[in-house]
Copies of this chain bind each other. A is one copy, B any other.
Amino acid sequence: DFMNALDEVTPAFGVAKEELEQVIQNGIIHFDQVVDDILRSGQLFVDQVRTSTRTPLVSLLLHGPPGSGKTALAATMAQSSDFPFMKLVSPDDMVGFSESQKVAAISKTFADSYKSPLSVIVVDSVERLLDFTPIGPRFSNTVLQTLMVLFAKRPPKGRRLLIIATTSLRPILTDLGFSESFDSEIRVPPISKLPALQHVLEEVELMKDPRELKQTMQMLVQAGFGSQDDVNGLNIGIKKLLSIVEMARQEPENVGERLVTSLMGL
């Protein structure tokens, strides 16, 4: 029956894997030790689900500022599990859905996962799934309650499930009483140190000339980005950094200055 289950889930397998790959299009740059730590933690949770009979359900929350790389890291963890059922639940696929259509789509994914002996579901951008907006605040209580129940509902006997959710509004989840639904939380920090930034610049080959890079780094130090405090120091998500890098690339003659200006304008 383990074999039957495997058969049943195989078709979904391929599709979802592509979905997961698509959100890591720009790859994972190992710009800091924390990147590796996060991925290793993910591995441990994957192992727990695979092996422990007492915890057939484990749920994990990746949280951090906008663009810090949560989606890409969650997808990477999920992919590395190689579980027979892997699925991405994303607001991107629910544009124009009514509340009940969202609930149906989400429950369908969970119901499908209960057919596989081992499953991983990435629930991306919880705040968008909830249609959250700070004015009011407004959100879909229907979707919220669905997630809270599904995140606590044990899979049927012999089935195991890892849930990896992401959010850039963790305090809101606490206000909503949703934080207690998670077995564990991992913070995905923004880039806050110049060496990490330099690592990224090298990786994406923004400057052809190493001297140009060096000059740029010096300009950044002068601009105060070397300072370690939160307010004045460097504080940028990898996603936004990659975007700024590409803008700077448009003016090849003064790439460095453009980059520094953009970082200062944030």
Measured CB to CB, the residues of A under 8 A from B are 22-23, 25-26, 44-45, 47-48, 51-52, 54-55, 58, 66, 91-92, 94-96, 98, 100, 103-104, 107, 110, 128, 131-139, 141-142, 144-146, 148-150, 152-154, 157, 175-177, 180, 183-184, 204, 240, 242-243, 245-247, 249-251
Closest chain B CB from A48 CB (angstroms) = 5
Contact of A183 with B91 at beta-carbon distance under 8 Å, contacts A135-B137, A137-B135 already known: no
A101 to chain B, nearest CB (A): 10
CB neighbours (8 Å) of A26 from chain B are 54
Report yes or no: B55 in contact with A149, Cβ–Cβ below 8 A. Answer: no
The complex is assembled from copies of this chain, and their number is 6
Identify A149's interface contact among B91, B135, B150, CB under 8 A: B91
Is A175's CB under 8 angstroms from B66's CB?
Answer: no
Q: Is the CB of B246 within 8 A of A44?
A: no
Question: Are B25's CB and A154's CB within 8 A?
Answer: yes
Query: In angstroms, how far is the closest chain B Cβ from the Cβ of A25?
Result: 7
